[in-house]
Structure 1
Amino acid sequence: MTDIASRQSHSSTSLRQNGAIRVAALMTAIFLFALGCQTTYYTVWEKMGKEKRHLLKDNVEQVREEQAEASEQFATVVERIKAMYGFDGGELEDVYEKLSEDYRACEERADAVRDRIDKVERIAADLFKEWESEITVIENVKLKSKSRASLQDTRSRFARLQRSMARAESSMDPVLNNLRDYVLYLKHNLNSQAVSSLRKEVADIETEVSSLIQDMNRSIKEADAFVKTM
């Protein structure tokens, strides 16, 4: 029994150590990619059994998640703005503080979407470059032709995804600018009269956020379609 317990304890310790090593390798890979050391980044991942196509798929899935979370946050800030109507005095101050926090959260979500899209585009470019290079090594004419056709098809599908991501990304800036202006104006004029005077601006923001969410949803659908064919 003692031997069994000892082996179980050793096995548990080994699993924890392997998990810690994997996490450390993952963090190193992320850090290297952020520094622009893509070659080393890919090498680290390859040692963990993931090629560029796996990384592209994973990051497209994460773009989808980042966009969904950003959509929810932008919708939340609109609801917070609407909640300001009907409040006054100290209550209005409390709602404003929450609105300010929601706006900062929108900025963070938008930055996360931009960073993830940039990462997806860099991985895709590296994948396609590697794919092109490897096709030249294939001597079998039939296999070479099939591989090139597959590359062209993947590039075409990625181009559709890229266009939808770019549209969603560009839709964020005007919304964030208007939200920033709105929040700063309220900071300087926090009273019920100031809130009431901004009804048109609120309607414009709501329209822009609705359009942004539609763009995000289209991009999410393109991401779903792309992932299914990877």
Structure 2
Amino acid sequence: MKTQHIFVILFVLSLSACQSAYYSAMETVGQHKRDIMLDRVENAQDAQKDAQQQFKSALEQLSELITYDGGDLAEQYEATKEQYDASKEASEEVAQRITSIEDVAEALFDEWQDEIEQYSSNSLRRQSQSKLKDTQRKYRSLIKSMHRAQDKMSPVLAALKDNTLYLKHNLNARAIGALQGEYKSIKRDVEVLIKEMNVAINQSEEFIELLQVEQ
């Protein structure tokens, strides 16, 4: 086995060990995996809502830019760049929140399955297995929805970056005219993004309610 492959495996194992140690430590203070998952879904939901507002703000700035009617174009460029940077940061925050959910979900479901095998009662075992499968099904639907919304951010970010770069090197009225055609396309993409994020946010709320009921 190549050395670099060994390092990759060791790195993955160390991450897994760190996660296990973290969850074990949290359980000693009464914070179980289900509680952690609930918190992380709520945090992801908040991050999605923040991202929604940020992309709307970026679109508003672009709208102001293309209706430019005199003034300092350098200021318009700085405002456009700030909106792009903030949108990129919001997108990265959503991605991190999704990853954190996936991490704890894997640990939670593995633990749940292991504990099902410990039942002496066949009836209770079947009930727990059924509840696990139902929770996993709803989780898969949720995480798929979150990833679908996250994927919709990429074309919007790419377009915002293009506009920012173009404006940086073309601080003149002609550049504004060139960006007007881009606005309609970005507006459509943002509208699709907002729609997908609303679906993910609503599914997050349903999943949060599910976890709260089962506690």
Range into which the TM-score falls when normalised by the shorter chain:
0.7 to 0.9
Q: 2:200 aligns with which of 219, 224, 229?
A: 219
1:81 counterpart = 2:62: yes
Residue 169 of structure 1 corresponds to which residue in structure 2?
150
Choose from 5, 8, 23 the match for 1:42. 23
Is 1:151 equivalent to 2:132 in the alignment?
yes
- 8 A Cα contact 2:145 2:200, kept in partner: yes
Does the alignment pair 1:121 with 2:102? yes
Alpha-carbon RMSD = 1.6
Alignment partner, residue 189 of structure 2: 208
Alpha-carbon contact 2:40-2:100 (below 8 Å) kept = yes
- Please show how residues 68-107 of structure 1 align to structure 2 within 5 Å: 68-87=49-68, 90-107=71-88
Report what 2:3 is aligned to.
none
How big is each residue's C-alpha offset from its partner over 1:165-198, in whole Å with a ceiling of 9 and x where there is no partner?
1101111111111111111011011111111122
Name the stretch that deviates more: 200-209 or 79-88: 79-88
- Other structure's SS at 2:75 match: helix
Q: Distance in 2 between matches of 1:34 and 1:114?
A: 18
SS at match of 2:120: coil
Number of aligned positions between the proteins: 198
For structure 2, the 5+ residue unaligned runs are 1-13
User: Aligned equivalents of 2:91 and 2:204: distance in 1?
Assistant: 17
After superposition, give the CA deviation of every residue in 1:58-89 in whole Å (9 maximum; x if it has no partner).
10111110000001000000100111134356
- 2:177 matches 1:196: yes
CA–CA distance in structure 2, aligned partners of residues 172 and 36 of structure 1? 32
Gaps of 5+ in 1: 1-32
C-alpha distance in structure 2 between counterparts of 1:220 and 1:86, whole Å = 33
Contact persistence 2:66–2:180 (CA under 8 A): no
1:108 and 1:34 mapped to 2: Cα distance? 24
- Equivalents in 2 of 1:197, 1:143: separation in Å? 66
Read off the aligned partner of 1:184 and give its amino acid letter. L
1:20 paired residue number: none
Q: What is the rounded CA distance, in whole Å, between the counterparts of 2:17 and 2:196 in structure 1?
A: 29
Give the secondary-structure state (helix, strand or coil) at the position aligned to 2:72.
Answer: helix
| Equivalent residue in structure 1 for 2:44, among 53, 63, 68 | 63
Taking the aligned partners of 2:92 and 2:79, their CA distance within structure 1 comes to 20
From the superposition, tell whether residues 101 and 35 of structure 1 become closer, same or farther in structure 2 (CA, over 3 Å).
Answer: farther
What whole-Å deviation, never above 9, does each CA across 1:116-146 have from its counterpart, x for those lacking one? Answer: 1011011111110110001001111111111
Q: TM-score, normalised by structure 2?
A: 0.88
Equivalent AA in structure 1 for residue 135 of structure 2 = T
* Greater radius of gyration (CA): 1
Distance in 1 of aligned mates of 2:63 and 2:16? 42
* Percent of matched pairs sharing the same residue: 36
Match of 1:130 in 2: 111
Give the counterpart letter for 2:152 in structure 1.
S
